[in-house]
Chain A
Amino acid sequence: MRGVVEMTGRDIQVVRRIRGIPLLLGIAVLISACSNPYSMNESQDDGKMTVSIETSPRTANPDSSIQIALYRITFTHTGGEEVVIESGEAVVEISLTIFGVWDILVEGYNDESRLVASGTSTVDIQADQNKSVSVNLSLISGTGEALFGLNFNPLQVNSASVVGRLIDTENQSIPLNFSLVEAGIAESSITVDEGFYTLEAQLLDGETPVAGLAELVLVYTGGTTEEIFVFESVNKPGTPLSVSGDTFTVAWDPPSDPDTGIPLSVDGYRLYYREHGSYQWTFLAEIDAEMNEYTVTSSDLPFGEYDLAVSSVVLDTESDLHTSYDDTAEPSYGWYISWN
């Protein structure tokens, strides 16, 4: 975008430099993809809001369908005679030439010829009678397997773990054991009775939930319900970087062309801060274009915990803030200054 400096550079690094007696903590902040994911863009600043109406049903379903493709209806007479008919329709008519009481067994098979449901009834039929019998089919009782995968960007989470559980319709909780099978991938499997469950899962960074979900899970007898969930972004709690002394230095890389890597010209930088836990950025300093760092002194800020951000300025246009919580910061799981 013309007028907006787009910058790329090396990953954010935490640099420790000793300048004389005081320990100066230099913190390099990469100015890269200078958009604050939590900030509204200019078009949103005018107060407009887009309200959507969506249909986004999500249910973790088994691997095979329970849609019944074939009904097998078995009539068994009290005298032992048996009549079997098959139909794809849910309404079936049959003429019985043996009279008396018949037991009716209806079995429903899906398109993979797997028995998914059954129901029973009886009918007492005599010659020249017409009777209508309703048979309710229910899912076959038994157990099925549930497999869950939870994917996330490992760069966003410092100490990842996943907790989860299934809650059945009787409100009984069934713990799930998620294992990190590789960076950014947690998995869990469990065998449970067929039926509906509420899946609750949360991605933790340390003890802090950074993302989570709840979803309906349906398990069929003999089936496997498998679902992979992806957390594109997480709410980073940030890692405190402890600094002591009267000053510390914040550094960043200048912007560069993302394709060629050639540094881009800027007219200067602006440094912002906010108290950790608050959401309002406060201007701290204007920095010349030739400078890629700024030393914060106790005259600028009192001791405390601060989030930091920097923007670039070209002519009168200022880029979005690049904060210490962006994925391209280093460490990528976010940080804040704990200065005392």
Chain B
Amino acid sequence: MELKERIKICIVLFLLVIFALPFLGCVPQKDKGNLEISFIELDGAKTLTPSISINVDYYIVEGAGPYGESFSKTIYSSPFEIEYLEHGEWAITVDAYNESGIRVAAGTSSTMIVAGETVSLYIQLSPPDGTGTLSIDIFWDDTVVSNPAIQSSLISGGGTTIPMTASIVSSGHADINEPNLATGYYTCSIQLLDSEVVVAGAVEAVCILDAQETQGEFYFNNPNIPSGDVEIIIDTDLEEPLIINLSGTVDTFLHGQTMTVLVDAGTITDVTYSWYINGTYMASGETYITDSGLAPGYYRLDVIGFSADNKRSGSASHTFIVTEN
């Protein structure tokens, strides 16, 4: 080969190399993959939590992969990505710490890393294993709840109901103290009863952390007091006098004539009447006729009426003169 040919070949090769160089970084490394990890934390709103902060300040993420490969990273936000992991099964462990360095949540998961791909992994964080204590104080208006009682229970995430006992420590105040509760989230149910009728209640999520006490307070200030309505109808049987009416009376009449007088007690009909002339009993009945032989003179006619049950009575009178001529 001539020198001129050799030079052309070298120039072409050089140009090919120059042309290929920018593409060398685009070639994936053999058997490597990427992993994107996200954490799922329970919402802490309206949740009874221990006195320590459960706000996560940072996470320590550790991974164990094939061929003894591993990693450990401290991160401050989710999601994050780890590159160049070996192809194969990886076990990922996450521990969440608060600002005081107390581990407040943990979670594990595993995934298959595929060479040349980015795998997404969601890890559920939960309180670390252990036991904690739940203390709850319940308050109500003792002026409206006369016969109080508390019903309470915890329901674990698995659906197991754990009964709790409330003690009334003073008027309008009860407390619950449950030690040795397994860590985790629970549903706490509290009901205030008055004479065995539920008058108030609340349900709230509870977070139990290892070696921590979770406290809560419930105030039932407006209980729905059940009531029975009684209508009292007062019947005043007060022996009030009867209103006795006379009719047919005249002021004067001649000796030898008579006067016929009628009596009634208005709407009261079952009345017995007694007639008197000048204080002397004469007759009974609703009508009285004076004796035609009544001597000339001054007279007072009285009638007294009694109801059939003798509980009401009344009288009326009329004065008249019997004249001589």
B interface footprint on A39-81 (CB within 8 Å = 1, 0 otherwise): 1100010000111111111110100001010010101000001
A39-B276 in contact given A95-B227, A234-B298 (Cβ < 8 Å) = no
A51 partner residues in chain B, CB cutoff 8 A: 248-250
A94-B230 in contact given A54-B247, A216-B315 (Cβ < 8 Å) = yes
Determine the residue in chain B with the shortest Cβ distance to A323: B324
How far apart are B88's CB and chain A's nearest CB, in angstroms? 67
Q: B252 and A40: CB pair below 8 A?
A: yes
How far apart are A284's CB and chain B's nearest CB, in angstroms? 17
Q: A56 and B230: CB pair below 8 A?
A: no
Determine the residue in chain B with the shortest Cβ distance to A163: B279
Q: How far is the CA of A196 from the CA of B314 in the complex (A)?
A: 9
The answer, yes or no, to whether B240 is at the interface (CB within 8 Å) is: yes
The answer, yes or no, to whether A241 is at the interface (CB within 8 Å) is: no
Q: B325 and A97: CB pair below 8 A?
A: no
- The interface residues of chain A, by DSSP majority, are classed as strand
The answer, yes or no, to whether B238 is at the interface (CB within 8 Å) is: yes
A36 partner residues in chain B, CB cutoff 8 A: 324
Interface with B: A21-29, A127-135, A182-190, which one?
Answer: A127-135
B interface footprint on A114-144 (CB within 8 Å = 1, 0 otherwise): 0011010001011111111111111100000
Contact of B279 among A61, A127, A213 (CB under 8 A): A213
A125-B230 in contact given A134-B235, A214-B304 (Cβ < 8 Å) = yes
The answer, yes or no, to whether B144 is at the interface (CB within 8 Å) is: yes
Contacts of B184-220 to chain A: CB distance below 8 A: 194-195, 197
How many residues of chain B get a CB closer than 8 Å to chain A's CBs? 66
Interface with B: A12-20, A198-206, A254-262, A285-293, which one?
Answer: A198-206
The answer, yes or no, to whether A331 is at the interface (CB within 8 Å) is: no
B298 partner residues in chain A, CB cutoff 8 A: 37, 211, 232-235
How many residues of chain A get a CB closer than 8 Å to chain B's CBs? 80
Q: A200 and B279: CB pair below 8 A?
A: yes
Q: How far is the CA of A198 from the CA of B234 in the complex (A)?
A: 29
Q: A169 and B231: CB pair below 8 A?
A: no
How far apart are A124's CB and chain B's nearest CB, in angstroms? 9
Q: A132 and B234: CB pair below 8 A?
A: no
Q: How far is the CA of A117 from the CA of B239 in the complex (A)?
A: 10
A104-B232 in contact given A58-B315, A279-B295 (Cβ < 8 Å) = yes
B144 partner residues in chain A, CB cutoff 8 A: 97
Q: How far is the CA of A7 from the CA of B318 in the complex (A)?
A: 32
The answer, yes or no, to whether A98 is at the interface (CB within 8 Å) is: yes
Q: How far is the CA of A151 from the CA of B232 in the complex (A)?
A: 48
Q: A127 and B197: CB pair below 8 A?
A: yes
B324 partner residues in chain A, CB cutoff 8 A: 36, 38-39, 279-281
A316 partner residues in chain B, CB cutoff 8 A: none
How far apart are A38's CB and chain B's nearest CB, in angstroms? 4
A132-B233 in contact given A97-B194, A212-B300 (Cβ < 8 Å) = yes
The answer, yes or no, to whether A181 is at the interface (CB within 8 Å) is: no
B233 partner residues in chain A, CB cutoff 8 A: 90-91, 132-135
Q: A214 and B241: CB pair below 8 A?
A: no
Q: B246 and A54: CB pair below 8 A?
A: yes
Q: A137 and B234: CB pair below 8 A?
A: yes
The answer, yes or no, to whether B274 is at the interface (CB within 8 Å) is: yes
Q: A212 and B280: CB pair below 8 A?
A: yes
Determine the residue in chain A with the shortest Cβ distance to B255: A279
The answer, yes or no, to whether B135 is at the interface (CB within 8 Å) is: no
The answer, yes or no, to whether B122 is at the interface (CB within 8 Å) is: no
The answer, yes or no, to whether B310 is at the interface (CB within 8 Å) is: yes
Beyond the given A135-B235, A202-B278, A280-B325, could you list 6 further A-B residue pairs with CB under 8 A, ordered by the A residue number? A40-B325, A59-B241, A119-B234, A125-B228, A137-B237, A279-B324
Which residues of A pack against B, CB within 8 Å?
A: 36-40, 44, 49-59, 61, 66, 68, 71, 73, 75, 81, 90-99, 102, 104, 106, 108, 116-117, 119, 123, 125-139, 164, 169, 195-196, 198, 200-202, 209, 211-216, 218, 232-235, 279-281
Q: List 6 A-B contacts (CB under 8 A).
A: A38-B297, A55-B243, A92-B234, A130-B228, A212-B280, A213-B302
